[in-house]
């Protein structure tokens, strides 16, 4: 055996051989080289980590700050994953291919836009418009709106409404407040005309001598509301012990803004719903304060009835005779000024207001 540098050589049977027991460091590092691709694959699939921070909504309730105000929007940090990026890109490309319209097939949205008046204001069209609008919202705001839609669809109406109401009051919500208010309005209508509990609604147990007109006066409701919310077809057939939903002396106020053809309904001093209206002659519809004088219905059946809410002036700046709120005969008149008299509503909208606004309710007109 002899030494050549740092390597030991040994004279063997077949000449000088390498002493295998004196391996260099490179032979022991082969497994590190094999481990590097495995680590890269794990990072590719799993991402580079996440802070785990959540947004302003967590579960079915808002997490408020210590002073009770709504916290600033916190955008959830997403885990950066290259694999997830490529998969999402492939899905978008695939969905884009499958959603392409074959040549010669009419564009359904273009066809829908050819209709005026009622078709443009229909619930289906509004929902499609709102769904498209959510894609243009800030990420966190859009996520909250979609989450409220999920709560609404699962029957958690109060949780959905609470989320939207808090979002609506944010100073940064001006650009998408109309979108939020439409959703709040739909939820409020479902709550107030259904058997679902809500603030301001109570159950009355029918006792001997109760009739709908008496309950209407006792609780400050319209008879139409009590009949509608309890699905009563024959008022004379209510029975002792029956549970009826009523509003506990509610305060309804309607404010009509002539500048943008919009009516805002408030319930117990809180926003309830917005409506698009048409305006009659300026000589009749004057800015000022009014009150519901009386309500009248013309028609042979409840479905075909023409409902009208007659107002009287309650301020010195308007005529005492006032004017009326009623359904537009020409639906295209809603959303603009016309030669018709009074304030014009969509038929389903005037049905809601007719059932909610009792005699004496305040109606304010602003320029």
| DSSP string across 194-253 | SS---TTEEEEE--TT--HHHHHHHHT--HHHHHHHTT-S-GGG--TT-EEEEESS--EE
Question: pLDDT at position 215, please?
Answer: 96
Query: Under 8 Å CB-to-CB from 206, ≥6 apart: which residues?
Result: 238, 239, 240, 241, 242, 243, 244
Question: pLDDT at position 170, please?
Answer: 79
Distance CA 109, CA 41 (A): 45
Averaged over successive runs of 10 residues, the pLDDT of the chain (367 residues) comes to 49 50 56 76 59 39 39 41 56 50 40 38 48 62 88 94 90 80 95 94 96 96 97 93 97 95 96 95 82 83 74 68 85 90 93 95 93
Question: pLDDT at position 297, please?
Answer: 86
Distance CA 29, CA 159 (A): 59
Question: pLDDT at position 144, please?
Answer: 86
* DSSP three-state, residue 309: strand
E-assigned strands of the chain?
Answer: 2-4, 7-12, 15-18, 57-58, 61-62, 201-205, 243-247, 252-257, 262-267, 270-276, 278-279, 288-298, 306-313, 324-327, 343-345, 362-366
CB neighbourhood size of 358 (10 A) = 22
Question: pLDDT at position 58, please?
Answer: 38
Question: pLDDT at position 313, please?
Answer: 85
Question: pLDDT at position 339, please?
Answer: 84
β-bridge partners, 337: 279
Distance CA 288, CA 365 (A): 5
Task: Check residue 249 and give left, alpha or beta (phi > 0: left; psi -120 to 50: alpha).
Answer: left
Distance CA 132, CA 109 (A): 12
List the one residue out of 283, 272, 258, 265 whose CA is nearest residue 335. 258
Distance CA 108, CA 328 (A): 27
Query: Under 8 Å CB-to-CB from 220, ≥6 apart: which residues?
Result: 247, 249, 250, 358
Distance CA 279, CA 333 (A): 8
């Amino acid at each position: 055996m002899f030494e050549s540098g740092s390597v030991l050589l040994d004279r063997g049977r077949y000449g000088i051989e390498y002493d295998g027991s004196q391996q260099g460091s490179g032979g022991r590092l082969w497994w590190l080289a094999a481990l590097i691709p495995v680590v890269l694959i794990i990072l590719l699939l799993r991402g580079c980590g996440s802070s785990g921070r959540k947004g302003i909504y967590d579960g079915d309730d808002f997490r408020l700050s210590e002073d009770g105000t709504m916290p600033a929007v916190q955008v959830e940090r997403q885990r950066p994953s290259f694999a997830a990026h490529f998969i999402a890109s492939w899905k978008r490309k695939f969905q884009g291919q499958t959603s392409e319209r074959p040549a010669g097939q009419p564009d359904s949205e273009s066809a829908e836009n050819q209709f005026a008046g009622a078709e443009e204001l229909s619930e289906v069209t509004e929902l499609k418009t709102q769904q498209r609008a959510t894609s243009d919202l800030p990420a966190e705001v859009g996520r909250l709106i979609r989450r409220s839609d999920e709560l609404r669809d699962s029957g958690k109406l109060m949780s959905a409404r609470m989320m939207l109401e808090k979002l609506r009051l944010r100073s940064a919500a001006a650009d998408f407040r109309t979108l939020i208010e439409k959703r709040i309005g739909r939820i409020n209508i479902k709550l107030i005309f259904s058997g679902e509990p809500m603030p301001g609604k109570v159950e009355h147990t029918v006792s001997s001598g109760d009739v709908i007109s008496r309950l209407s006066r006792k609780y400050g409701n319209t008879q139409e509301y009590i009949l509608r919310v309890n699905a009563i077809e024959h008022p004379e057939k209510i029975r002792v012990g029956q549970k009826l939903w009523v509003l506990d002396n509610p305060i309804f106020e309607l404010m009509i803004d002539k500048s943008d053809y919009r009516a805002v309904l408030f319930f117990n001093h809180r926003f309830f719903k917005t409506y698009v209206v048409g305006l009659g002659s300026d000589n009749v519809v004057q800015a000022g304060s009014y009150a519901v004088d009386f309500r009248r219905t013309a028609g042979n059946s409840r479905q075909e009835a023409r409902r009208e809410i007659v107002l009287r002036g309650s301020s010195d700046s308007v005529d005492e005779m006032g004017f009326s709120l009623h359904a537009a005969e020409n639906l295209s008149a809603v959303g603009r000024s016309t030669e018709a008299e009074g304030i014009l509503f969509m038929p389903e909208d005037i049905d809601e207001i007719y059932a909610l606004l009792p005699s004496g309710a305040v109606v304010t007109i602003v320029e």
